[in-house]
Structure 1
Amino acid sequence: SAAFYILVFPLIIFKSLLCALGLNLMSFTEGHLMCLCEGSKCPQTPECRGTRCFSSIKVSGGEVLLEHGCFKERLQCFTAPSFHQAVHCCSKHMCNGNTTRSFLMSLLISAPEGEPVRYRVETLALFVLAPVVVLVLLSVVSVLACRRLHRGRLQRLQEFDTEQGDGLITSNVGDSTLADLLDHSCTSGSGSGLPFLVQRTVARQISLVECVGKGRYGEVWRGQWQGENVAVKIFSSRDEKSWFRETEIYNTVLLRHENILGFMASDMTSRNSSTQLWLITQYHENGSLYDYLQRVAVETSEGLAMAASIANGLVHLHTEIFGTEGKPAIAHRDLKSKNILVTKELRCCIADLGLAVTHTQADNLLDVGNNPKVGTKRYMAPEVLDETIQTDCFDAYKRVDIWAFGLVLWEIARRTYSNGIVEEYRPPFYDQVPNDPSFEDMRKVVCVEQQRPFIPNRWFSDPTLSALVKLMKECWYQNPSARLTALRIKKTLDKIHSSLEKGKES
């Protein structure tokens, strides 16, 4: 059995080491002794020779059996005494002849079962060596397993190359510009992203310049490709499924839209003896909406344009486009100000599709991916927090996005001037839950108490902010089916913008 080999294998190694040094277990003994020999195992003579003399007592079936003799191996002396048997060893000539029955009986009486035994040098050496050998074996197995896993990850890209390759060779990338690469996703026949062969070439031509953000997902770096800035999101190994999902969606879906972050390439590469998961996209120096609103307060027209651009991006995601260059309907599932980027024109584009869900009407296929993660707790809708969401219904996921959009709209409104007044940036529910709220914290506030973010009085005195308040409240209905659609939000924002422009002209 496995247990037998685990115990015996270290002993074999130990004995081999001794042999290599010209030693054996007998070298630890004091030499051969003459001993008294009485009992069933003794030959005709009353004497025997061995390394130790012994006297033993055994109680069986009411009978007491006494034996005297000699042992060839000292290890035989280390049998633990019990209520039924005891062995006494000595190391002088004929020393066991002086061992009396009463002395042996006293050993039985005074030696309870399981009493600790004093181990000799060779026994201690065996006990020390065995765990070391086992640990070495386990370490070797672990290293081999890690190497196999590492190779398996890198091989996934080769599988993608086979599936996605369309004959383009790496030299096609040579004279391309960033705009060329981004436009390719619109003009390719499949409607998907760049071929993986090209993506990997692009990834290996990028030099990382500076880290511009860190989070639980990993890091975001500003990189350069052929003199142009790009964003490189490096996922942590525990977030591999988010990277895989986002890569999968970008490479199978036509997502080219001014309000969706432009995708360039995805790559799994080995650097500094570790696997790195890269997602390469457009670079927006203003950073996320979350970062931007903390630094800058916006005018009414700017805030309204930001909100409208997010709604446009959400409409594009939620809408299924039919045809050979179409796309399934997509629900984001983790919409928040940190996952929305601000362009240099002060418009917004939606990023981070690692938790996205897709749906196609033709086969009514709902694809939720293979990512066990859920969205950000602060932005979770009531039906997610109380676990009543219809997980087999795509519209349910779209309504979750609408709830989160209402919270993002509230964040923008706080940082929008009216009559020269503006609030400092705060995240949704900042005054109702801790900085890092738990699932239970959010469930209590949103589901049990049915609270919503605080609306300052000054918003109601501004026509535009007042209209935005009405809009965000229609995104926050407790009943998901009562919430607005992304398309209705877009049209409402267009009306608010038209009213603002008319007000300026009059």
Structure 2
Amino acid sequence: MVEGCSYSFKEVKTVCCDSNFCNQIDSILTDITSIDNFTIIKKNPQTELWKGKYQNDNVAIKCYMPGASSSWERELKIYKSASSRNNNILRYIGADISRYYYCIVFDYYDNQSLYDFLRCPKNSMFGLSLNQIYMIAYTASKGLSYLHSNIFGADPKPTICHRDIKSKNILIKSICGNLNATINLTPIPRNKYQSDHCINYTKDSNLNKSNNNDKTYCSINCCISDLGLAITDDEDYSSIKLKVGTHRYMSPEILSETLDRLNFESFKMSDVYSFALVLWEIISCYNPFYPNPPFKLNCFHELPYHEFVSQNPSLDDMKTIVVDKNLRPSLQFNWYKSEKILPFLEIIKESWSSNPKSRLSAIRIKLTLQKSCSGMSII
């Protein structure tokens, strides 16, 4: 029985308003009744997010109301084309339709979102090390660059723009080992019972030790979620609504409505601007003296533009700050203590440029972060 609801899925008749599309759903679920132990996590006007149990594993279920069936169909098609081939996109498990809901089932991660991770008390007190911020940024950038890529051949994938990149839509898939240690990503071969999204890590004998000589290791892996507002380059996107997503993360060209609707690259560059703000959030928790600063540092996570706008800024508020005044979140002087952080800061500054054509591409961001991680023996 679903908490707060008066029925169980086992009591509902499966119906479908678009039989042609439903026949194409190659879900690994027989139907939604295979899931039990439901708990409602979050409610929105058009969707609900639940946690449930499927084959002894926790899963997340995103449920669209019947009036939002077109949004369900759209998101499902995008996930089916993207998530099965990249570990840094939230894995789609299956889908089903009931009389009351249109459902999509995903992996569930106990560590929740990047936003939650950055705001946890431990990180607020000690901050994050250089290795940790690079690994979080790098694995998230792998997801974005994959979305922005076009795959041809027998199993093609269109170019996808997310349109709502923010820290709450990036999930922490795994945190393995000791967060005080240098991060390493040496995969252990999967056994036949592990799916593609289950990655284990082993310690590298050449692993650099952290400042506190901790001999343990750590890995942090992220994935991008919530493709409900995403668009693809193989559809007609010339007349879509521009101002969707979260006001705080909207690019200057979205806020000023100057984005070139006829050029798909414009939407990709808008994603890059939003991702630069996420990178700023990550570095706002950076502790250059981690884990033992010589003096008290403020490593508490802040939202972008927190110094200029309220918790829930309006479109006009953001347009005034981002477009009219051309302001950006501040970069603190203590972030420059290490030369190794400079590439990270340059990515941020170039990627939130007011000129979309001056921003880095997602693949360029990934490769720059990859180079920095390799230079520090993180990957």
TM over 0.5, shorter chain: yes
CA deviations on 1:397-418 (whole Å, 9 max, x unpaired) are 1001100110000011111221
Q: Answer yes or no: is the 8 Å Cα contact 1:208–1:221 preserved in 2.
A: no
Within 5 A, what are the aligned runs for 1:384-403? 384-403=254-273
The amino acid across from 1:474 in the alignment is E
Cα distance in 1, alignment partners of residues 240 and 354 from structure 2: 28
Partner of 2:330: 454
How far does residue 236 in structure 1 lie from its aligned partner after superposition?
4.7
SS in 2 for 1:279: strand
SS in 2 for 1:323: coil
SS in 1 for 2:17: helix
Partner of 1:463: 339
How far does residue 368 in structure 1 lie from its aligned partner after superposition?
7.2
SS in 2 for 1:156: coil
Cα distance in 2, alignment partners of residues 253 and 366 from structure 1: 19
How far does residue 468 in structure 1 lie from its aligned partner after superposition?
1.5
Within 5 A, what are the aligned runs for 1:174-253? 195=26, 199=29, 201-215=30-44, 218-236=47-65, 239-252=68-81
Partner of 1:283: 108
> Higher Cα Rg: structure 1 or 2?
1
Partner of 1:303: 133
Count, aligned residues? 312
Cα distance in 2, alignment partners of residues 475 and 407 from structure 1: 9
Change (3 A) 1:342 1:252: closer
Change (3 A) 1:220 1:371: farther
SS in 1 for 2:94: strand
CA deviations on 1:259-314 (whole Å, 9 max, x unpaired) are 000001122213xxxx2232200111100111111114232212211100111111
How far does residue 485 in structure 1 lie from its aligned partner after superposition?
0.5
**Is residue 487 of structure 1 aligned with residue 348 of structure 2?**
no
**Is residue 423 of structure 1 aligned with residue 248 of structure 2?**
no
Give the unaligned 5+ runs of structure 2. Answer: 1-12, 176-219
Change (3 A) 1:442 1:340: same
How far does residue 233 in structure 1 lie from its aligned partner after superposition?
1.8
Partner of 1:337: 167
Partner of 1:83: none
Cα distance in 2, alignment partners of residues 368 and 251 from structure 1: 23
Within 5 A, what are the aligned runs for 1:236-385? 236=65, 239-252=68-81, 255-270=84-99, 275-295=100-120, 296-297=122-123, 298-345=128-175, 346-360=220-234, 366-367=236-237, 374-385=244-255
Partner of 1:408: 278
Greater shift, 481-490 or 229-238, is seen at 229-238
SS in 1 for 2:267: helix
RMSD, aligned α-carbons: 2.6
Cα distance in 2, alignment partners of residues 233 and 250 from structure 1: 13
The amino acid across from 1:347 in the alignment is N
Q: Answer yes or no: is the 8 Å Cα contact 1:254–1:326 preserved in 2.
A: no
Give the unaligned 5+ runs of structure 1. Answer: 1-150, 165-193
Change (3 A) 1:479 1:442: same
Q: Identity percentage over the alignment?
A: 34
Cα distance in 1, alignment partners of residues 114 and 67 from structure 2: 26
Q: Answer yes or no: is the 8 Å Cα contact 1:366–1:394 preserved in 2.
A: no
How far does residue 209 in structure 1 lie from its aligned partner after superposition?
3.4
Cα distance in 1, alignment partners of residues 255 and 174 from structure 2: 36
Cα distance in 2, alignment partners of residues 481 and 216 from structure 1: 36
Q: Answer yes or no: is the 8 Å Cα contact 1:245–1:369 preserved in 2.
A: no
CA deviations on 1:230-281 (whole Å, 9 max, x unpaired) are 11122356654432321122235574211000001122213xxxx2232200
How far does residue 219 in structure 1 lie from its aligned partner after superposition?
3.2
Partner of 1:121: none
Cα distance in 2, alignment partners of residues 214 and 429 from structure 1: 26
The amino acid across from 1:308 in the alignment is Y
The amino acid across from 1:398 in the alignment is K
Q: Answer yes or no: is the 8 Å Cα contact 1:416–1:422 preserved in 2.
A: no
Within 5 A, what are the aligned runs for 1:36-75? none
Change (3 A) 1:422 1:343: farther
Q: Answer yes or no: is the 8 Å Cα contact 1:254–1:325 preserved in 2.
A: no
How far does residue 477 in structure 1 lie from its aligned partner after superposition?
0.8
The amino acid across from 1:401 in the alignment is D
Greater shift, 445-454 or 300-309, is seen at 300-309
Q: Answer yes or no: is the 8 Å Cα contact 1:253–1:326 preserved in 2.
A: no
Higher relative contact order at CA 8 Å, sep ≥6: structure 1 or structure 2? 2
Cα distance in 1, alignment partners of residues 168 and 83 from structure 2: 23
The amino acid across from 1:312 in the alignment is K
Aligned residue among 350, 361, 364 for 1:474: 350
SS in 2 for 1:481: helix
Q: Answer yes or no: is the 8 Å Cα contact 1:254–1:327 preserved in 2.
A: no
Change (3 A) 1:249 1:278: same
Within 5 A, what are the aligned runs for 1:73-84? none
The amino acid across from 1:266 in the alignment is A
SS in 2 for 1:315: helix
Cα distance in 1, alignment partners of residues 367 and 287 from structure 2: 23
Change (3 A) 1:458 1:241: farther
How far does residue 159 in structure 1 lie from its aligned partner after superposition?
3.2
